[in-house]
Structure 1
Amino acid sequence: MSALAGIGALAADPAAWVALLTLVVMEIVLGIDNLVFVSIVSNRVAEAERPLAQRWGLVLALLMRLALLFVLAWIISLTQPVLRAFGHDFSWKDMILIAGGLFLVYKATTEMHERIEPGDDGASSARAGASPLGLGGAIAQICALNIVFSLDSIITAIGMTTQVPIMMAAVVVSVGLMIVAAGPLSRFIARKPTIVMLALGFLLMIGMTLIADGFGLHVPKGYIYSAMVFSGFVEAMNQLARRSRSGIRA
């Protein structure tokens, strides 16, 4: 009963609603790179299974983040140094970020290679852009990287509020919006080969940023998202120019 009373008191507090709105926005912004990764991986699954891969991948991400909220003391302890190497103290969080960054760099590089140098099946492989991926493999990859993104997201949430119900509500809302946006984004990426390469470039940049963060070289998120927005603007101009040239030829 006391828990319900506490939630009721939060619901009646305007400051709690401001904190919730701020945290939802932050979670959505932090989830953009996750969403790009989900879209690229799900596009390698058979078309009929893509919505299932996106839905299950993001639902498992939601469950992972909610589970992490119940072990806040453990998450906070992950930021304590446990290893010293190369003149730098590394915490478990640092090592997870480095591992996640290396995985992203590897994933983006191999995806780029498969699209630039198609396999032995020739034209069909070139049209597909990359080798197919099973539903289980896609969900496993989405979940593997979600460990890194979930950790980053929850640590950010801890820094903004101490109220677990607000954090849980923000996570549910943000992941729900990601589930809605995943389908249209993946279809858009699948139709535009140059945007696939741009998205892979984003993943490469994010991977290097995670590695740098793990080594204590923090790159402000604003710089990263500004670069992504600028690159997206340039690509949009290229798409418009290409469409204009096609109209002139017609």
Structure 2
Amino acid sequence: MADLLTFENLGNLLMLCFLQAVLGFDNLLYISIESQRAPVAHQRAVRFWGIIIAVALRVVLLFAMVHLIGALSEPFYTFDMPGIIEGGVNFATVVFVFGGIFIIYTAVKEISHMLSLDHLGTDVSHKSGKSAFQVVLLIVFMNLIFSFDSVLSAIAITDVFPVLAAAILLSGLAMLLLADGVTRFLEKNRMYEVLGLFILLIVGVVLLGEAGPAAAHAMHDDSLQIKIMGYDLIPMSKTTFYFSVIVLFVVEAIQSGYSRKLAAERHAEQNRSHG
């Protein structure tokens, strides 16, 4: 126990908590949006149990990764079609591709639903096409997809399992504390739910990009970098991702302010014409 209470482990814990907070933003956003698909009476319980189960499974995933990192990093297939597709595929590659496609599909489906005529006449707070159990399963599943990148990054910082587990538990506690507030904000500001779905769309693209160098980074072999049509499939940097998110929020804020100002001017003009 005394071996764990060192300045190095404390510094690593603080760094890991910061890392989990930065990488957990998109996860929290997904939880807040997806939980609204459950029946209203169960939405809070869905968020609570979804996060609790997901955090527990994330610790299990971490334990497995620490002990099986070599086996999971080893490429099990290599594409060798020059000019079409090249590079190695390992477990991380499959997770990133599957997760990215699933998130993109989810975001596009929900955006299409919001644009449909049926949605315009429906109060989404009283109707849902998913049961509470289905939503919990989706939250747990997607939490594991989101956590894979953060777990790999965490292992690169330290291999001390108690420190890694503590960071995951603290990040889970933070999500529990913030999930209800984020959900209430989205319910009161429906336009930001659409914005959140577009952010999830970007997250899906980011995950697909992460698949490109997954095997190459794990084996320190650049020849395993996935290339499509001769071009490297490279991930979007976190700086670019958060810059894109900030730009989307700024554009939404400016558009909302302009819409309110335009509505106020029209209302004032109507009052003058009636007066």
Is the alpha carbon distance of 1:238 and 1:70 closer, same or farther for their aligned partners in structure 2, counting shifts above 3 Å?
same
Matches of 1:83 and 1:133, distance apart in 2 = 37
Q: Which residue of 2 aligns with 1:109?
A: 108
**1:29 counterpart (19, 22, 32):** 22
What's the offset of the Cα at 1:39? Answer: 0.8
**1:61 counterpart (48, 54, 58):** 54
AA matched with 1:22:
M
Equivalent runs, 1:75-86 vs 2, <5 Å: 75-85=69-79, 86=85
What's the offset of the Cα at 1:182? Answer: 0.6
Structure 1 portions without partners, runs of 5+ = none
Q: Which residue of 1 aligns with 2:91?
A: 92
Q: Which residue of 2 aligns with 1:128?
A: 124
C-alpha contact (below 8 Å) 1:102/1:211 kept by paired residues: yes
Q: TM-score, normalising length from structure 1?
A: 0.88
Matches of 2:256 and 2:70, distance apart in 1 = 45
1:176 and 2:173 are equivalent in the alignment: yes
**1:208 counterpart (205, 209, 214):** 205
What's the offset of the Cα at 1:131? Answer: 4.4
Q: Which moved more, 1:104-113 or 1:15-24?
A: 15-24
**1:165 counterpart (162, 168, 172):** 162
Structure 2 portions without partners, runs of 5+ = 80-84, 214-233, 269-275
Q: TM-score, normalising length from structure 2?
A: 0.80
Say which one has the larger Rg. Answer: 2
Q: What whole-Å deviation, never above 9, does each CA across 1:110-164 have from its counterpart, x for those lacking one?
A: 1011110143x861x2x32884321011011111212211221211110111211
AA matched with 1:62:
V
C-alpha contact (below 8 Å) 2:114/2:120 kept by paired residues: no
What's the offset of the Cα at 1:212? Answer: 1.9
Is the alpha carbon distance of 1:82 and 1:247 closer, same or farther for their aligned partners in structure 2, counting shifts above 3 Å?
same
Identity rate, percent:
26
What's the offset of the Cα at 1:205? Answer: 0.8
Residue-pair matches, total? 240
Give the 4+ runs in structure 1 shifted more than 4 A.
240-250
RMSD: 2.1
Q: Residue 142 of structure 2 aligns to a residue in which SS?
A: helix
C-alpha contact (below 8 Å) 1:114/1:131 kept by paired residues: no
